[in-house]
Amino acid sequence: MTTRVDIRFEFPAPSIPLPPETREAFVAALRARPGAWALMGQHSSPGAARQTAYSIRRAVRTRCFRPAGAFEAEAKSVMGEHRVYVRYVGQDAARASSEVTAR
């Protein structure tokens, strides 16, 4: 028995940073659906994806993800694509996170 596999050959897309207004719209959509994961984008390397996820979790470099801890972010490599997924967990999660680190 032969298994048929559909394969699409293409070069990986380059990393394209989101302009501030697009990032703010993305964050507004996440805040409207707390707890739902969304694909933020793809990166050229696993390290770049991990760094972006870290920056989102810690709310560094981008004000729209503040306060730190209000968003969860995960870097995942799927079939050679390095993706960042983000979800809004709320202000309470951010407060609890800052209380734990203050101890």
pLDDT tens-digit map of 26-80: 999 999 999 999 999 888 899 999 999 999 999 988 789 999 999 999 999 988 8
Q: What are phi and psi of 75, to 5 degrees?
A: -100, 130
Confidence (pTM): 0.74
Better-scored residue on pLDDT, 23 or 89? 89
What pLDDT shows up at residue 67?
A: 93
First to last CA, the chain: 61
Average pLDDT over residues 87-102: 67
- Higher pLDDT residue, 95 or 91? 91
Q: Is the pLDDT of residue 98 over 60?
A: no
**Whether pLDDT at 5 is above 90:** no
Query: What average pLDDT score do residues 74-95 get?
Result: 87
Cα 71 from Cα 84, distance rounded (Å): 12
Rounded distance between C-alpha atoms, residue 83 and residue 53, angstroms: 9
Query: Is residue 64 within 8 Å of 49, Cβ to Cβ?
Result: no
